[in-house]
Amino acid sequence: MKSHVAHVGIALAIVATFAATSVFAQQIPAARDFDAEIRTALQSAKTAAGFEFLGTLARTCLLPQSGGEDTTDNLPGYVTNPASAPARETWYAEPARVFDNLSFVGGKIHSAWALTTSQGIILIDTIFPYNSEELIVGGLQKLGLDPKNIKYVLISHAHGDHIGGAEMLQTRYGARIVMGAPDWDAVAKFPNRYKTMAPKRDIVATDGMKITLGDATVTMWLTPGHTPGTLSYTFPVLDRGRRINVAYSGGTAFNFVNNTPDPGIKNFQIYIESARHMAARAAETGATVLLSNHSEFDNAFNKNRMIAGRGNGPHPYELGADWVQRYFQVMQGCARVAQLGLEQKRVAAARR
């Protein structure tokens, strides 16, 4: 009898506790442990980066972020006063034949790539107005290629370090220019900022659009985030006659409003979804090479110097499909870290 009473007592106590907890749970949701979530996201980015994508990890997880897209219409100093452009030794790099049909014609920090086809050249990104002449035009000539054969110029996004040579290439060679709609709009909206780098509005890229020239095709993917019109690409190249696939990431740093919960949380979501979109396209095409427009992200400057000593070894750019996926995991993990920080900020502000 005694034990029966005791059992009923315990049962009641359990029911009471359970009821109390559910009422409590309905009224005040369990506090999220943002610090723990941030640690997990950061760890996943670090693990994904390994030793291959430390530059990408540093830029997106560790270094101070820009905090927002430039909304002024100021003439860049290197346009008003070309003598103020960075010294040549800070940016000059030798051009390099990277794959049978893909050459590097960029600089130490910023990249430009020439996909050579049976009908001419598709150029990807054009660096600055002050070095596109020497690096792209001069670089192609050094490699025995004729810049007059540039038929298409794909601009990953309308920042001065990638669109810098587009107006010159359009005017001089009649090259067709391809860019995302919002970035074409930015060029029209800021005539001073884009002075000498404002190609006439031409081809507007859509998601999945293909640019075919001779025997080569580049597929464009809309990956808004770094800018609203950022484009990324997938395309095959040949390595000693063997076909392998490239995923080209068009914008990696957080260059949007990212320091306030509104619109930062939403902007990070756009960025994360673009990284997922590109990861899926890379997986579909079996991409084993990850390229970008900054050596900071794909180690282009260093890898170009390894090609000559490769012998019969693997191509220094061919990382394998898993590593290509890991690039996009770094992007997503670091964006999630920053997004969680803003969610934490929003919750803290609401509690005040």
Nearer to Zn ion, 61 or 237 (CB): 61
Q: How far is the CB of 125 from Zn ion (least distance, A)?
A: 10
- Contact call for residues 324 and 296 (beta carbons, < 8 A): no
Q: How far is the CB of 296 from Zn ion (least distance, A)?
A: 11
Q: How far is the CB of 220 from Zn ion (least distance, A)?
A: 17
Nearer to Zn ion, 159 or 281 (CB): 159
Q: How far is the CB of 247 from Zn ion (least distance, A)?
A: 18
Nearer to Zn ion, 156 or 304 (CB): 156
DSSP class per residue in 63-79: SPP--S-----PPPHHH
Nearer to Zn ion, 101 or 223 (CB): 223
Nearer to Zn ion, 145 or 300 (CB): 300
Q: How far is the CB of 143 from Zn ion (least distance, A)?
A: 26
Query: Is residue 110 a contact residue for Zn ion (CB under 5 A)?
Result: no
Measured between its terminal Cα atoms, the distance across the chain in Å is 53
Name the residue with the smallest CB distance to Zn ion: 159
**Residue 240 in tokens:** 């000693």
- Beta-ladder partners of 102: 99, 115
Q: How far is the CB of 60 from Zn ion (least distance, A)?
A: 13
Spatial neighbors of 225 by CB under 8 A, at least 6 apart, are: 251, 256, 267, 270, 271, 274, 275
What is residue 84's DSSP assignment? G
Nearer to Zn ion, 129 or 147 (CB): 129
Query: What is the Cβ-side half-sphere exposure of residue 219, based on CA atoms within 13 angstroms?
Result: 15
Q: How far is the CB of 351 from Zn ion (least distance, A)?
A: 36
Mark residues 298-337: x for contact with Zn ion by CB under 5 A, - for none: ----------------------------------------
Give the distance between the most distant pair of CA atoms in the chain.
101
Spatial neighbors of 296 by CB under 8 A, at least 6 apart, are: 55, 56, 59, 109
Using CA atoms, how far residue 109 sits from 89, 101, 106, 315, in Å, is: 11, 22, 8, 21
3-state secondary structure of 208: coil
- Contact call for residues 251 and 288 (beta carbons, < 8 A): no
- Contact call for residues 163 and 126 (beta carbons, < 8 A): yes
- Which is nearest to 264 in space by CA: 170, 171, 337? 337
Q: How far is the CB of 298 from Zn ion (least distance, A)?
A: 15
Nearer to Zn ion, 229 or 236 (CB): 229
- Contact call for residues 207 and 224 (beta carbons, < 8 A): no
Nearer to Zn ion, 254 or 317 (CB): 254
Q: How many residues bind Zn ion (CB under 5 A)?
A: 1
Q: How far is the CB of 127 from Zn ion (least distance, A)?
A: 12
Write out the E strands in the chain: 96-99, 102-104, 113-117, 120-124, 150-154, 176-180, 203-205, 210-213, 216-222, 231-239, 242-249, 289-292
Nearer to Zn ion, 173 or 221 (CB): 221
| Region 138-197 residues binding Zn ion, contact defined as CB under 5 A | 159
Residues binding Zn ion (CB under 5 A): 159
